[in-house]
Structure formats: structure tokens, C-alpha cells
Amino acid sequence: MSTATAEATPMVEARGVCKSFAGVEVLKGVDLVVKRGEVTCLIGPSGSGKSTLLRCINHLEKHDAGELRVDGHLVGYEYRDGKLYERNDKQICAERAKIGMVFQRFNLFQHLTVLDNVTIGQVKVRRVGGDQAAVRAKELLARVGLAGKEGAYPSQLSGGQQQRVAIARALAMEPKLMLFDEPTSALDPELVGEVLDVMKDLARSGMTMVVVTHEMGFAREVADTVYFLDHGVIEESGDPREVLTAPRSERLKGFLSKVL
């Protein structure tokens, strides 16, 4: 693939993506495009399919139908002799290593120090030397405002600090795409801003991001595109300055009246 072609290829492209759990349709033919270097926010009520779509992007959930690509490549599957096959675990893990994921509940290793939490993926997955991994980890911890916390354990940190460690850990893998699943929903209100500030800095640096969020101010300020999901379908999408200030659908109007 030429450089020009690569740059024109969307970082994320979903076409007709469907997903059901126990016979209940959670995603009903979702179409979505995320361009390189852009921030896309997924908004909508709880149970609308936002987090499921995010988890399908890195194959933590297997979509049932449709096509999902990251960086031009099918997620979790490949065509061989005209038939679609699921890739093996090793291939899927290699794909997933290029996609950073930040969860609601931090998912840090409680028995490891902050420094070890950020270095472990580099050493175990990327095969980076321990000293080199530690240098990179300290740089990233400084970037997220946690210089000097390298020897602390997660239990000694606030929720906001733990989430910033989780972001540093994801960045240490040098991802081409970052996924955030409601990264501030588990935080006390006074800690939300410090995490959003780190995410804004990432956006300014050109990181491609897909963010599930209820923070409408963040979506309005940072997102290039907003998708409003409801009952597994995209009701409305577009420039956040238009979607969030002059919604067309009655369902989005009702949603915004409750969250703004």
C-alpha cells in the first residue's frame, strides 16, 4: 500500500455491523468511519450499543454480521480462497497490541507498581528491554502528570491518577488507535477534569481516538465527529457543533435535554 493510499484509508470503518447477545440485538447494522488523526465520540443512553461497538473494534467482542476494518484490515477475520475465517489467537493478539484500550475501571495490576504497570506490556508483548521500557514509561508518566509516582501502587492513587496510569500504559504500546470506554464514568466529579485534560492533549498530538462518553463538553470541544446511538442504530451523526446544538432527531433532542 502506497503512502498516499494508506493516508486515505480510514483508521476505522464499520459497514453493517451487527451484534446480538442471547438473541437480543445490540447493534443493528452500524455504519461508521473514523479518519486518521481524528477524534470520534460515541454518545447515547446506557444500553444503546456504544461500548459493544467499541469492543468489536478490537475484537474483544465478535460481531455477528457486517464488516469491520482497522487501518484497512479486517478485524479478527481474513479471507482465504474466497471464504471468511477467524484469525487465530496469536494473530488477534498481535492486532490488538496496536490498539490502545482504556476502560471505565482502570484494570491496573494491583500487585505491581505504577512503573511496572506501564512497562509490563512493552517487555512481555513488544519485547522491549527492561531499561528502555522504564525510560519510556517515565516519559509517559511525566506526560500524564504523574512524575514521581513510579514506585506507588494503584491502591495508593486516586481514581483519576489510576486512569492516567492506564492511559500511559496504553500509550506505551505505541498504538495507532486509542479506544476509551467511558473513561471518566467511575471517577468522582472533581477528578474528571484531570483525565479529560490528558485526552485533550492526546487529541492535539494527532492521535486517532474513539471515545464512548457522557461528557458532552468534551465531545463538543475535542471531537471531529459525533455519533448518537440509540437501541443499536445510529440515529444521527456529524460535526459536534451541529449535532449537539441543533439536533434533528427527536430522540437526540430528548437525550440532550437530560444530559446538558
Question: What does each C-alpha distance from 81 to 86, 92, 256 come to in angstroms?
Answer: 13, 20, 48
From the number of C-beta atoms within 10 Å of its C-beta (0-12, 13-18, 19+), residue 39 rates as: buried
The string of pLDDT tens digits covering residues 96-143 is 989 999 998 889 999 999 999 999 999 999 899 999 999 999 999 999
Lowest mean pLDDT across 6-10, 49-53, 237-241: 6-10
- Across residues 71-95, what is the average pLDDT? 90
Q: Which residues pair with 39 in a beta bridge?
A: 209
User: What's the grid cell of residue 55?
Assistant: 469492543
243 pLDDT band (50/70/90 cuts)?
very high
Beta partners for residue 33, in sequence order: 13
Percent of the chain with pLDDT over 90: 85
**Given this model, what pLDDT does residue 4 score?**
54
Tell me how far apart the alpha carbons of residues 42 and 54 are, in angstroms, rounded to a whole number: 9
At 9-26, the pLDDT tens digits run: 999 999 999 999 999 999
Question: What are the distances in angstroms from CA 115 to CA 87, 144, 147, 170, 179?
Answer: 33, 13, 10, 13, 22
Q: Please state, in angstroms and rounded to a whole number, the distance separating the CA atoms of residues 167 and 165.
A: 5
